[in-house]
Structure formats: C-alpha cells, structure tokens
C-alpha cells in the first residue's frame, strides 16, 4: 500500500506525468527531456528524482550523461505502465512532447549514421575476410534454438545488431559496451526498429553491472579478440549465468592476418578450441559443441558452454 501511494503522489503532477510518458518510449537523457518539455534542467531533474525515488523510473549513468527509462521489474513498474496507458491520446501537451521526441530521435539517428559511415570502410574490410554475417547470425540463432529465454546479455554489443536479432526470442535483453559512440549507434538502431524489450548500457566487459546468476543466455559476438585478457572476460560472463544458463562465443579461429592487430586494434589473432574450452572449464562452465564456419582467410567458430549445476 505504501509503495502504491508513494507512486501516485510522485506521478500526481502534470510535468511528471509527461516525463513518465516520454520515458515509456525509450531511454532519454536529462538534457533531451529538458528540451522536450521546455523547462529548466534543475526543475526537470527534481521531477525525475521524485519519480526515481518512487520506483516509477530507472536511472543509469553513461559517461557524462544520465539516462532515464520507465521502470520494468519493480512493484511500482506496474503502476508506472498503468498510468501511461491511462493517459489520453488527444492530449495537446503529450502530442507536442512526442513530436519533439521524434526530432530528438532523428538527431540521434543522424549522428549514429555519420559515425557509422566514417568507420564503415574498416568494418567492411573485416567482413570481406570471413563468411557472410547473415550466415553466422542464422547459425547462431539455430544453435540458440526455441528454448524460452527470460534474460539475455550481449557482451560488447557494438552496434546492437545481435541484440536486435535476439529480441524476438527473449523476454528482455541487455547489451553492454564501453564505447559511447557505439552505444549511440545501438540505441538509435533499436529505436528505429521499435524494440522495447532490449536496451543498452555502458559497462566494462571485465566488470559488468550485472547481478550474479541473473542471465539465461549470454553472447560474445566477435568481441573477444579485442580483449587483452580473454579468460577474465569469460570468467565475468560465467558469473552472470543462472543454473543451466548458456554462453555462446563467436570469434575467429587462429589466423595470421597481422594487419588486424595493427590497423583494427585486435589484441588476439583468433583462438584455438583448446584455449577457449580451457577458459570455459576454469570459469566453472561445461564446454559444449563447436561450430565451424569456414572462411578465407578468416574462419569463424561458435563455441558453446553452459552452467553445469546447482547454484549456492
């Protein structure tokens, strides 16, 4: 009863209802919300603070920015979504806010496209060296199968491509990446696709903002070769897995393409089966099958592992 009353008190103000409605459409920074509702930042920040304290919104930091989105898993989340659903569709204020929100999203998309285009030649060079991305992605989906997935984690999500690909198969998904520009691309991509069950967060793959034993499925898709200490990344991924949770590592077999180290910042020139499976075992996981997608000069492999037993 107390949490319900607290939530109602927090939402019981016109600007806070507008902010709640906006944050139901995606993740927005304080600056963006200030621009949309056309109020001062201190005032908007006070409203947001009350909504967060009541559990109606979630707050997270990404570098110098702070983002907000509607709560999803707390008791107050049901109230938050109910209040948003009850808002009248013909409200002039809300429709004006949504129009401004579209302008914000377009700016994000334009910035993301500019960054992507400036780096596209580098990414295309690597893509040309291995089997088509679509083939890798379809093989990954086939291996994941039809088992219900409640919680999904994409480590080193980059542009959010795999996160979006998995969105139809998971109840909720989170992509972690350290690169703010990549996160901007991913966020714009997910917004354009209208995907609301998957989100991105800034985080270090060596120390992720995830609870122990909270994930049903985790992926490392063409990211492990950037790690200076891959076994520590696998340890961290294992930490997040629930009992019988699964880990899929998609990366290159050993190769001799030294320019990838010099020009594209690859720390490792592929991985052997022995190295990956040993790291999985040392992280407390049970290694599974390995799938090979032969390429020239780069061969892609998909290594599987699962959490073997009861959690304590």
Taking the alpha carbons at both ends of the chain, their separation in whole angstroms is 33
Contact of 268 with 260, CB cutoff 8 Å:
no
Q: In order of start, what are the domains of the chain with their CATH numbers?
A: 2-101 (1.10.10.10), 129-306 (3.40.50.150)
Q: What local confidence, expressed as pLDDT, does residue 164 receive?
A: 95
Mean pLDDT of the chain: 89
232-267 pLDDT per residue, tens? 999 999 999 999 999 999 999 999 888 887 777 888
pTM of this structure: 0.77
Q: Cβ-count burial of 157 within 10 angstroms (0-12 exposed, 13-18 middle, 19+ buried)?
A: buried
pLDDT mean over 50-55 = 92
CB atoms within 10 A of CB 88: 8
198-232 pLDDT per residue, tens? 999 999 999 999 999 999 999 999 999 988 889 99
Tokens of 198: 């998957």
Name the strand (E) or helix (H) holding 284.
none
């Amino acid at each position: 009863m107390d949490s319900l009353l607290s939530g109602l008190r927090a939402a019981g103000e016109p600007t806070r209802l507008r902010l709640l409605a906006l944050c139901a459409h995606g993740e927005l920074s304080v600056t963006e919300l200030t621009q949309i509702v056309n109020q001062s930042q201190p005032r908007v920040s006070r409203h947001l603070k009350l909504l967060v304290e009541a559990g109606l919104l979630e707050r997270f930091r990404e570098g110098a920015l702070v983002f907000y989105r509607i709560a999803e898993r707390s008791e107050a989340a049901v109230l938050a979504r109910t209040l948003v659903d009850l808002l009248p569709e013909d409200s002039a204020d809300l429709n004006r806010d949504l129009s401004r929100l579209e302008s914000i999203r377009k700016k994000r998309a334009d910035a993301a496209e500019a960054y992507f285009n400036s780096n596209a030649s580098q990414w295309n060079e690597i893509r040309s060296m291995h089997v088509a991305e679509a083939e890798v992605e379809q093989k990954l989906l086939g291996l994941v199968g039809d088992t219900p997935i409640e919680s999904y984690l994409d480590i080193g999500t980059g542009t959010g491509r795999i996160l979006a690909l998995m969105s139809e198969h998971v109840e909720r998904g989170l992509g972690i990446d350290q690169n703010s520009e990549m996160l901007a691309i991913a966020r714009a991509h997910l917004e354009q696709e209208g995907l609301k069950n998957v989100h991105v967060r800034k985080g270090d793959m060596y120390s992720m903002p995830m609870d122990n034993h909270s994930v049903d499925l985790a992926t490392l898709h063409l990211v492990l070769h950037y790690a200076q200490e891959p076994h520590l990344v696998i340890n961290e991924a294992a930490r997040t897995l629930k009992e019988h949770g699964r880990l899929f590592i998609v990366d290159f077999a050993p190769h001799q393409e030294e320019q990838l180290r010099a020009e594209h910042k690859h720390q490792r020139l592929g991985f052997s089966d022995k190295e990956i499976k040993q790291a999985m075992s040392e992280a407390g996981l049970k290694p599974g099958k390995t799938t090979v997608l032969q390429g020239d000069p780069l061969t892609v492999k998909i290594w599987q592992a699962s959490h073997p037993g009861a959690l304590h």
